[in-house]
């Protein structure tokens, strides 16, 4: 015969559950793992940011020439510090505009110099523009 105490569940009626101590230990292990992963991601982002080199783009200089319907042959140069203070320190540029075919077809040679790095080669790019409203250049003079 079994002894039944009123208000107390029998062995067959008991359900298994976690104790408070087990929940605290499991939560601690989970948060340690989560913070370790966050630290790893954070240090990876910092390392990637340090490896990133910020260099000016040729498009900045070419886009200025799209604002009008005229180009005039010649050259100009400048410093990126004037355009973007503090962003591209030590970079300068030169631009040579020449008419290569008649009817206002121009070639613009852009060169970017890294004045801060010794021994670095200048980067060069050429862009072509069709500007029919331009005055006659070397390709159309005398025609």
Q: What is the pLDDT along the chain (143 residues), one digit of tens a residue?
A: 566 667 666 666 666 778 899 999 999 999 999 999 999 999 999 998 888 777 888 888 888 888 888 888 899 998 888 878 878 888 889 999 999 887 788 999 999 998 877 778 899 999 999 888 888 777 666 44
Cα(120)–Cα(53) distance, rounded to whole angstroms? Answer: 14
Query: Residue 3's pLDDT is what?
Result: 64
Q: Minimal CA–CA distance to 131: which of 61, 70, 79?
A: 70
Q: Minimal CA–CA distance to 94: which of 66, 130, 68, 56?
A: 56
Specify burial of residue 60 (Cβ count, 10 A radius: 0-12, 13-18, 19+): middle
Total-model pTM: 0.59
Query: Residue 30's pLDDT is what?
Result: 97
């Amino acid at each position: 015969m079994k002894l039944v105490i009123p208000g107390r569940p029998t062995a067959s009626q008991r359900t298994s559950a976690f104790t408070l101590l087990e929940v605290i230990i499991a939560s601690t292990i989970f948060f340690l793992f989560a913070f370790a992963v966050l630290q790893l991601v954070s240090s990876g982002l910092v390392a990637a940011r340090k490896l990133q080199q910020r260099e000016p783009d040729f498009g900045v200089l070419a886009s200025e020439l799209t604002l009008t319907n005229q180009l005039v042959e010649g050259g100009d140069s400048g410093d990126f510090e004037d355009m973007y203070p503090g962003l591209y320190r030590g970079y300068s540029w030169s631009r040579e505009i020449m008419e290569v075919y008649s009817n206002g077809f121009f070639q613009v040679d852009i060169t970017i110099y890294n004045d801060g790095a010794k021994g670095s080669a200048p980067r060069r790019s050429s862009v072509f523009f069709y500007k029919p409203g331009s005055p006659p250049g070397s390709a159309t003079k005398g025609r």
